[in-house]
Chains A and B, each alone.
Chain A
Amino acid sequence: MQISGAQMVIEAFIAEGVDTVFGYPGGAIMNVYDEIYKQNGFQHILNRHEQASIHAAEGYAKASGKVGVAMITSGPGFTNAVTGLADAYMDSVPLVVVSGQVPMSLIGTDGFQEIDAIGISRPCTKHNYLVTDAADLPRILKEAFHIARTGRPGPVHVDIPKDVTAQVAEFNYDIELELETYKPHTKGNPRQIKKAMEAIAKAKRPLFYLGGGIINSKASYEVRELIHKTQIPAVETLMARGVLSHDDDLLISMLGMHGSYAANMAMSETDLVIGLGARFDDRVTGKLSEFAKNADVIHVDIDPASISKLVNADYPIVGDIKNVVVEMLEHVEQVNPDNYEAWRETINNFNELHPLTFHEDSDRLKPQWVVKRVGELLGDSANITTDVGQHQMWAAQFYPFSRPNQWITSGGLGTMGFGFPAAIGVKVAAPDKISINFTGDGSILMNVQELMTAVEKKIPVINIILNNNFLGMVRQWQTLFYDKRHSETDLSVQPDFVKLAEAFGGRGYRVTTKEEFDVALKDAIEKNVVTFIEVLVERFENVMPMVPSGGSLFNMMLLEKKETK
């Protein structure tokens, strides 16, 4: 059929099964918004800032396992979205982001709201396109969705000049893609898999190192099976929280800069790292030359460039985690779980020596208590997003995650302002779950305008602001490494968060005691509108344990030992 470029965008979205588009209109994208007005195949959610649109699409994608979709205009609309694209790229989130561009005749003339969008998005997307002919649009959009969701997922950006959205051409979405140059390798090499399983059978102190790729590959339950059959302990990266359930005996905890003592010691003592969909990030490894020094490394990843990038892999396996783990399970009988009895005992001792805990030794509430309490009250019934900083680490350490896609955070880029819009996307994707965003008094202000989005669309996200009147994580580093010179991190001057939420039509609570917190959370869930629960917490609490930047994993600063009250 002959339709306009703008109509093609709508038709392609519908053909892809898109049910929600996050976005913000503007001059160059108006033709497409005109078609959005006329259609009812999907809902459009108007965020109040383009960055929030991308984060909302990310939250939607991470909670649903589908491709998130966002739409923005040219120039400032696009540049506002760049942080979101970079965030999605670093965390391998499948997105298709469509932006308007000035008409072809104006490209290169410094036209109004013109910027070289694909030039800017190139290093922070998996792929991008400038569409110069509407006849190419069906293929490009189909490729965009395909590339976003396959292989190592990531954001794909499609920039469409305004005249191309008006141009009429033939639309046929029922086409076979011919991507000669893009063929992700999804099936692991069987010989390598067999060799890896033999290495596992021979190892004395093997350790599963679980990464976010497992969640992308939807392989958590297969991985659980492999771990249970082999009885080999596991550590999770920040992005892998929820692959194993918090009550799994074989889950040690998170590892890395703020990982538990036992997790970091296990990684330092293991003789075989079984890396699944993890990328040996510097926040995980600490000093590379000391990382898992005595271990061989099995590394399964769909991205060949992630293998042996930082840590040499003795058993490299390129493939989709799910396929590889299913095949590993076929060789599992040669592994004798009893062989690791002593190793499991060692790890238990690590855990008992320095358990992941905190002291309730302050008049003000402890932030960790808040996270733990939410976990006790809501557990599996909530999806958790966070912003970036101390609260993020406490949420990762103390929330009892029980399933994949329950935990949604900005890991690679570390984007303050991610949490609230992401929580909106999460709630849209999973309306039956309570959407909790743990945030800080710094982060929440970075996308606070999303109160309006949540009120307008009746998206009842509960933001729990752990308020310590500081940019807490930077303050922690200043305290520890900059001789307490708290340069520009004191946030004593603050808005009234309760009134702020109310000004937009949401609800606000200020909480100073445990009792008040329970009441506020219960009330917020009942009222079912977007909420700020501001919790005044201990100002100088540090995230512990901590591996100082560039230090070895086994050299941790630990929580001081005290009699807990």
Chain B
Amino acid sequence: MTDNSERRVVSVIVINEASVLSRITNLFSGRGYNITSLTVAPIPDSKYSRLTIVTAGSVRVIEQITKQLHKLIPVLKVYEHADIVEKEMALVKFPITENITDIDTLCQAYNGKIVNVGENVVIAMVADESKRIEHFLSAIKRFNPKEIVRSGAVALER
């Protein structure tokens, strides 16, 4: 890329039918675009699904991605977001021997809480902007997280 590669969020509305997801991911791999994260779920009361794809590229690459996505037959709409509300969720598993109160306080700062307590581990959930999730994950390192799972971003235009 000659010009700057930027993080972008693209939403794609597709007909909810067999193999539609592989059409999208094939397009990304076949044309050398990257996917940072991808989420997909049906849109309530419709035959459509919404995909939220976090990708990176120059303005020209993003324009191509948008156009190429739109060219796929089952794609209804493609939004390349400028002004959005974006959230991502993360689940983190901690040993029960860690300081649960501190963890819980941290979680609350990131719209989260402890959601499950087992014999040996607790599971905490946070939901926030992807960037803040990164902060959270670096902040909780000292509590020795055993497992981390991130959902990938979802977004809505303001």
- Write 27 A-B pairs (CB below 8 A) sorted by A numbering: A119-B19, A119-B22, A122-B19, A122-B22, A122-B23, A122-B26, A123-B26, A123-B30, A126-B73, A127-B73, A130-B18, A147-B73, A179-B73, A181-B15, A181-B75, A181-B76, A182-B73, A303-B71, A304-B70, A304-B71, A305-B64, A305-B67, A305-B68, A305-B71, A308-B60, A308-B63, A309-B67
Is the CB of A118 closer than 8 A to any CB of chain B? yes
For A305, the chain B residues whose CB sits under 8 A away are 64, 67-68, 70-71
- Min CB distance A167 to B, Å, is 18
Taking A123-B26, A181-B73 as known contacts, 15 extra A-B pairs with beta carbons closer than 8 A to each other, sorted by chain A number, are: A122-B22, A122-B26, A123-B30, A127-B73, A130-B19, A132-B18, A180-B76, A181-B75, A181-B76, A182-B73, A303-B71, A304-B67, A305-B67, A308-B60, A309-B67
For window 57-93 of chain A, which residues contact chain B by CB distance below 8 Å? none
Is the contact region of chain B dominated by helix, strand, or loop, or is it mixed? helix
In this complex, which of B19, B26, B30, B68 has the most chain A Cβ atoms within 10 angstroms of its Cβ? B19
Report the bound CA distance from A127 to B30 in whole Å.
15
Is the CB of B112 closer than 8 A to any CB of chain A? no
For window 261-306 of chain A, which residues contact chain B by CB distance below 8 Å? 303-305
What residue of chain A has the Cβ atom nearest to residue B18's Cβ? A130
For A182, the chain B residues whose CB sits under 8 A away are 73
Residues of B within 8 A of A (CB-CB), count: 19
Q: Mark A167-196, 1 if CB is under 8 A from B, else 0.
A: 000000000000111100000000000000
Report the bound CA distance from A122 to B26 in whole Å.
8
Report the bound CA distance from A376 to B74 in whole Å.
50
For A132, the chain B residues whose CB sits under 8 A away are 18
B binding-site residues for A, Cβ under 8 Å: 14-15, 18-19, 22-23, 26, 30, 60, 63-64, 67-68, 70-71, 73-76
For B22, the chain A residues whose CB sits under 8 A away are 119, 122
- Min CB distance B21 to A, Å, is 11
- Min CB distance A86 to B, Å, is 12
- Given A303-B71, A304-B70, are A309 and B64 also a contact pair (CB < 8 Å)? yes
For A304, the chain B residues whose CB sits under 8 A away are 67, 70-71
For window 296-335 of chain A, which residues contact chain B by CB distance below 8 Å? 303-305, 308-309
Report the bound CA distance from A20 to B60 in whole Å.
43
Q: Mark A98-132, 1 if CB is under 8 A from B, else 0.
A: 00000000000000000000110011001100101
For B67, the chain A residues whose CB sits under 8 A away are 304-305, 309
- Min CB distance B47 to A, Å, is 9
For B68, the chain A residues whose CB sits under 8 A away are 305
For B64, the chain A residues whose CB sits under 8 A away are 305, 309
**Neighbour of A118 across the interface among B19, B30, B70, B73, CB < 8 A:** B19
- Min CB distance B148 to A, Å, is 32
For A147, the chain B residues whose CB sits under 8 A away are 73
For B76, the chain A residues whose CB sits under 8 A away are 180-181
For A118, the chain B residues whose CB sits under 8 A away are 19
Report the bound CA distance from A308 to B23 in whole Å.
23
Report the bound CA distance from A182 to B30 in whole Å.
22
- Min CB distance A371 to B, Å, is 36
**3 closest Cβ pairs, A-B complex:** A305-B67, A127-B73, A181-B76
For B63, the chain A residues whose CB sits under 8 A away are 308
For B60, the chain A residues whose CB sits under 8 A away are 308
In this complex, which of A118, A123, A147, A181 has the most chain B Cβ atoms within 10 angstroms of its Cβ? A181
- Min CB distance A147 to B, Å, is 6
Report the bound CA distance from A125 to B14 in whole Å.
18
For A179, the chain B residues whose CB sits under 8 A away are 73
For A126, the chain B residues whose CB sits under 8 A away are 73
What residue of chain A has the Cβ atom nearest to residue B23's Cβ? A122
What residue of chain A has the Cβ atom nearest to residue B60's Cβ? A308
